[in-house]
């Protein structure tokens, strides 16, 4: 798992390509006053576990993962994770 930044919103990035994940994290960190934490996991199963153990405000989901593809990824994530936004 890789994280970037300080306090703020917690964004779960589900991306198995390390180069793509690094690019997203870098681009998100370029904004002035950036305080979001980006947590990267490489699989849908790791994303589900991350959602179970901690508050997540948003999810950026790759639709071509080793353990899931396309709309089925979104459906499984929504069914097992429920509401993402918390207090």
Residue 87: band (very low, low, confident or very high) from pLDDT cuts 50, 70, 90: very low
pLDDT above 80: residue 57: yes
Neighbours of 1 (CB within 10 A): 10
The predicted model scores a pTM of: 0.81
- 42 vs 77 pLDDT, higher one: 42
The DSSP line for 3-46 is EES-SS-EEEEE-S-HHHHHHHHHHHTTSTT---EEEEESSHHH
Q: Tell how many helices (H) and how many strands (E) occur in the chain.
A: 3, 6
- Check if the beta carbon of residue 7 is closer than 8 Å to that of residue 55: no
């Amino acid at each position: 798992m890789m994280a970037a930044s300080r306090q703020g919103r917690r964004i779960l990035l589900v991306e198995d390509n390390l180069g793509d994940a690094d690019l997203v994290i870098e681009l998100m960190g370029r904004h002035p006053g950036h305080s979001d934490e980006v947590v990267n996991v490489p699989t849908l199963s790791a994303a589900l576990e991350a959602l179970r153990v901690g508050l997540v405000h948003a999810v950026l989901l790759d639709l071509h993962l080793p353990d899931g593809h396309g709309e089925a990824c979104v459906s499984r994530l929504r069914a097992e994770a429920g509401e993402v936004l918390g207090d």
